[in-house]
Structure formats: C-alpha cells, structure tokens
Structure 1
C-alpha cells in the first residue's frame, strides 16, 4: 500500500467520506461549505491530502492563526483510513516538528479517546481541560506544542 500525500485542494474536503465522529465539530454536526473548504485549502498555513489508490483517506494541516507565530493543527479522517493511519500520523507529526510556528494547538473532545491519542501522537501535549466547551457544552482538551523564544522566561509548570 502506498500513501500519496500532496497539497490539499478545496474539492478534497468536499469529497472525503468522513468518519462519523469527524462530522462533529465543536458540538455541531454539519457539512463543510465550499467557502470553508477553499479557506482551509488556500488559507494561511498548510493543508495536505492523503490518498490510497486514488481514494482520500485523510486531510491534515496547520491553520495559521497569527502569521509566522501560531497555528491550529487539524485533521479529517475518512471511514476507510485503515492501515494508512500510520503514514498519515507520521506525516502530521513531521510537519508539526519541522514547523517554524512557536505555538501549535488543537482542541479535542475528552470523551473521544482517539482524538486525544492522535493529538499526542502528532507531538502535542495535553495542557488544559475546557469544561462546557462548544455548542454541546462538552469537555474538551486543549493540546499544545510551545516553543519559547530563545532566552525567554518561562512560567513554572508551563512551556
């Protein structure tokens, strides 16, 4: 099996057959609009599409929130990701590790262990539980990777 990972196009986000749990975003079950797909593919940061035998198995990326400084790590996994999961996870971990962003974060649902595990596998550390977060007021976990500026003071217990 060969996993082909290339830059994402907006149509990829509309084509992927998302896992049922991937349909829920911050407590809302919804479809992605073309405008959202274009912003994800073409917006600041980076976006990747992983295919196996021409079928999309995952979309991943780093959505820049503050130019050159901060980004949100994200992933959309397909129902048929199967054995490609390892290659997709390794790619996401490399992109995060090689990134110049000083802060990368992701917010995942506490009650979905696979989301928490994946955030850790790509190099993010659990930082804080967000109680009653999102449209469904569910517990979420803020996961992060923080690279302090050289010589910067750090807060005890933090990055």
Structure 2
C-alpha cells in the first residue's frame, strides 16, 4: 500500500489529504476482515479489501488504486465483485464523493449500491454518497 502511486482522486480521503503510515498499513493488513494486493507486470497496482467494523457482521469496502491501472482494472473489479458477493457479512458499505463520479461507478461495479446522499460530510464538508450491499438483497 505504501508504494502505490495513487490515482489523483485518491489523495484525499473524507476531505483530508493524507498518506498511509506503516502502522496504518499493518493494522489494515492484520485487522479484522480481508485485504488483497494486485500486481500487474510486477508492479503493485491495487490494494483493496473489507475492513470489518463489527466482526462477522459488517465491513467497509476500501480500495487504493494506482495511477495507470490500465489493463488490470477489469480483473481487479471482477475480483472485488466476487469477494463482495461471496462475503457472508450482513452489510458492506462504502462512502464515495459525489464530485468524483468514478468512485460511485466503481462501487456499483463491485456490487455496492448508492442508498443515501450525505451533504456536508467529512473534514471538507463535501457531499458524499453512502453505498451498501445488504446480504440477501444483492
């Protein structure tokens, strides 16, 4: 996760421009849920996963995608969709920025549907969209 040259749209999270520390990366990799790394031609092009907020019940879907993801995009999207679909968790959610249509589009491609507009959300008080997948409704 630390070596990925993130897409420009991913440099800000919930209104805060930041980088991930080694401690955060380790916590994500070792924490509750699933975490995956995708390589293409020997280069890490994505880290993604399901971070369980209520173990065995609920998770937040997350992804760090590399600039120039290119040909690996389809395989990564299909993999994420398959893992979300196979998950036994009751709820999987993601929060995406309305101002970045690609975020909501990718959430839908991996099986997480928009359900609520959240105005004034996050550190920059931007409009976000809550997306979710409820087991049995997918």
Q: TM-score, normalised by structure 1?
A: 0.84
Q: What SS class does the counterpart of residue 15 from structure 1 fall into?
A: coil
Among 5, 10, 17, the residue aligned to 2:5:
17
Distance 1:103 1:126 in 2: 13
Gaps of 5+ in 1: 1-12, 149-157
Q: How many residues align?
A: 138
Among 116, 120, 128, the residue aligned to 2:116:
128
Q: 1:26 corresponds to which residue?
A: 14
Among 12, 28, 48, the residue aligned to 1:60:
48
Distance 2:7 2:57 in 1: 31
Equivalent residues of 2:40, 2:72 under 8 A apart: yes
Among 48, 62, 75, the residue aligned to 1:74:
62
Distance 2:114 2:97 in 1: 12
What pairs up with 1:84-123 in 2 under 5 angstroms? 84-123=72-111
Distance 1:41 1:125 in 2: 25
Gaps of 5+ in 2: none
1:53 is displaced (CA, Å) by 1.4
Runs of 4+ in 1 over 6 A off after TM superposition: none
What pairs up with 1:41-60 in 2 under 5 angstroms? 41-60=29-48
Q: TM-score, normalised by structure 2?
A: 0.97
1:147 is displaced (CA, Å) by 2.0
Distance 1:46 1:135 in 2: 27
